Structure 1
Amino acid sequence: MNPSTQRITALDYARAWAIFGMIIVNYTLAMQAEQEGTTWLRVVSGMLQGRASALFVILAGIGVSLMTAKARKSMDRAMLRQQRMSLYRRSVFLFGAGLLLLLMGWNADILHYYAVFMLVAAALFHISDRKLLGLAAVILLVSQWGLIQFDYSEGWDSSFHVYNGFWTVEGFIRNLVFNGFHPIFPWVCFFLIGMWMGRKRGLLAKENRQKLLFYSLLGTVVLETLSYYLIQFSSSVLDTDSAHYLFSTKPMPPTLLYVLSATSSAVAIIAISLYIVHALGNAALTQAMIHTGQLSLSHYIGHIVIGLGILEMVDYLENGSLAFAVAYGCAYFMLAILFSYVWRKIMPRGPIELIMRKVC
């Protein structure tokens, strides 16, 4: 396996772990089991919240940069237009898929947000690296300002499980832009950072992996420590809830520290994936994980439609414990790995990926 191929398959490998984390988080959320179970289970589940989906979005940004690299480098108008139209079509497809999941009752969908990120990519994939990072920084600062200026809880019930007025124009836009599960402000920052990383091919090269892993882990530790002490110190001036609201690294609300910490941990997972694929790239389990990442869209939709659908059929969707949610998620993911391995022996892309390929 040549170095270039290793880098691409390592991203697929990381994407599989992102899907696994999203499955655990979403099943926990769907069963309303966040506060259930033993301490270690709550800690593990809490660590995945907002991290797996951030990794998923960063990888999507990297993928867009790799896909549009030739057009961006040539700056040929016809190629730029072709890539832009391709991103527009993908955006429409993903938005439609997301709306279907929302209509089915899955209010934590990421695809309709992801569709907007694709629109942003279509408009910006040709701009300079400096402008990409500069825009991400501005959006991040504006998002933090928005958390101070506006009521983040508007529309949500006290448990943050039900969003009232979601299907009104005002509610839908507010949820999409400001206070949904993955709002454009600041979640598009993950996508822009991913686009920037996708342009830095040397960043993922073998000679830089150690630095990438070290600095990303260091960044995660420093940011988490900073968050902890800011909450402790500011609690003496503000009330505890306000301190957590401003300085927490949880995804809701998505603070500046959360975005930076989640980015650092996502980069660490990518670096670890590079090491694993380099060392064990030909192992059957590694290949199966790579195939699972290549079918990520199918597995995202499948774990909701099939995985949660089964629980709803047996009337167990809202009656599970955290231990059951995690066990069920692990079991589903193992079946997803097996399916991916067999499917990719027959077909070049996943079921939903094939449909999107034909449509887009």
Structure 2
Amino acid sequence: MTGWTGDILHYYGVYMLIASFLIVASTKLIVMLSSLFLLLSQILQVTIDYMKGWHPEQPFMEYLDFWTIEGFIRNLLFNGYHPVFPWICFFSLGMILGRLDLSKKVVRKKMLVISVFLLILTELLSKVLLRLSLSILDVNSAEFLFQTGPIPPNILYILSNSSSAIIVIVSSIYIAEKFAGHWFTKSLIKTGQLTLTHYVSHVFIGIGILVLLNRLENQTLAFSLIFTILFFVVSILLSVLWSSKFKRGPIEWVMRKITN
């Protein structure tokens, strides 16, 4: 967090703490608790000042009292970039997916159909509610309640993005099966196995390079896109080279040693 205000790893520490109590819980209980978290987060968003703590002139760029107990807890649980309420729902969804036999095509097909239906339904509902609510609410209030963007992470956002995430996961499995032996598929798999290392490197190396070049802010879309693609390509190449010599990525190795 000291080097990247958009950090998610310190939130993950809490996600995993909560998940440690749910490892042996039934899927039904996990769904019920996730629904409770989601409902409670929506209630908090409409009853507490969601902008509290954020710089009034730089909203969602600078959190003024992050390094205080009250500010840290508020950011962690309520209005940070990835607050526990309701981002724990994404984590618990991952736990549920991990219990499914995704090697079975019938399971994947059912997941895909339900997710596509829910995604379309949620996005349509968002558009309808936004339009209807404008007769009694201002634009900002209507978007606060009914948009499907991440700020604030309301119910529609969680449903829409959970659905799209499952669609991507299932599609990726189909593609990986069809092109299992292709060099590009194998390269992406090796890259995915170094996810934690790449998460840290994209901040300290990727953003670090931009800071050194004084190109971090106010850049064109073309520059951002080109730099991102180049960073991805280099990350994939380094992953393939690293995996040819070592079983785990450097930070993955440290994590395994700490938790083994």
Q: TM-score range by the shorter chain?
A: over 0.9
Cross-structure match for 1:285: 184
Alignment partner for residue 107 of structure 2, among 208, 212, 234? 208
Cross-structure match for 1:187: 87
Cross-structure match for 1:156: 54
Aligned length: 257
Cross-structure match for 2:119: 220
Tell me the distance in 2 between the aligned counterparts of 1:200 and 1:245: 34
CA contact (8 A) 1:176 1:182 kept: yes
Alignment partner for residue 134 of structure 1, among 16, 32, 54? 32
Cross-structure match for 1:75: none
TM-score of the superposition, structure 2-length normalised?
A: 0.96
Instruction: State the secondary structure of the residue aligned to 1:124.
Output: coil
Q: Which has the higher contact order (CA 8 A, sep 6+)?
A: 1
Cross-structure match for 2:227: 328
Instruction: State the secondary structure of the residue aligned to 1:127.
Output: coil
Alignment partner for residue 171 of structure 1, among 62, 66, 71? 71
Cross-structure match for 1:28: none
Cross-structure match for 1:245: 144
The ranges of structure 1 where at least 4 consecutive aligned residues each deviate by more than 3 angstroms after the TM superposition are none
Tell me the distance in 1 between the aligned counterparts of 2:18 and 2:121: 31
Per-residue CA deviations over 1:206-229 (Å, capped at 9, x if unaligned) read 233233223212221211111111
Compute the displacement of 1:204 (Å). Answer: 5.0
Compute the displacement of 1:163 (Å). Answer: 0.7
Tell me the distance in 2 between the aligned counterparts of 1:184 and 1:219: 23
CA contact (8 A) 1:297 1:352 kept: yes
Per-residue CA deviations over 1:68-99 (Å, capped at 9, x if unaligned) read xxxxxxxxxxxxxxxxxxxxxxxxxxxxxxxx
CA contact (8 A) 1:204 1:271 kept: no
Alignment partner for residue 7 of structure 2, among 109, 114, 125? 109
Tell me the distance in 2 between the aligned counterparts of 1:150 and 1:231: 21
Tell me the distance in 1 between the aligned counterparts of 2:128 and 2:49: 25
Instruction: State the secondary structure of the residue aligned to 2:151.
Output: coil
Per-residue CA deviations over 1:124-154 (Å, capped at 9, x if unaligned) read 2111111000000011000100111001111
Compute the displacement of 1:319 (Å). Answer: 3.5
Compute the displacement of 1:346 (Å). Answer: 0.9
1:1-360 equivalences in 2 (<5 Å): 102-104=1-3, 106-157=4-55, 158=57, 159-201=59-101, 203=102, 205-360=104-259
Tell me the distance in 2 between the aligned counterparts of 1:173 and 1:327: 37
Tell me the distance in 2 between the aligned counterparts of 1:319 and 1:231: 31
Tell me the distance in 2 between the aligned counterparts of 1:123 and 1:176: 19
Q: Which has the higher helix share?
A: 1
CA contact (8 A) 1:129 1:196 kept: yes
> Given residue 244 of structure 2, which amino acid in structure 1 is its aligned partner?
K
Per-residue CA deviations over 1:102-144 (Å, capped at 9, x if unaligned) read 112x110000001111101111211111100000001100010
Tell me the distance in 2 between the aligned counterparts of 1:162 and 1:323: 26
Q: Give the root-mean-square deviation of aligned CA atoms.
A: 1.2
Tell me the distance in 1 between the aligned counterparts of 2:79 and 2:210: 28
Tell me the distance in 2 between the aligned counterparts of 1:323 and 1:146: 39
Compute the displacement of 1:323 (Å). Answer: 2.4
CA contact (8 A) 1:280 1:286 kept: yes
Aligned in 2, Cα 1:238/1:319: closer, same or farther, shift over 3 Å?
closer
Instruction: State the secondary structure of the residue aligned to 1:160.
Output: strand
Identical amino acids, percent of aligned pairs: 45
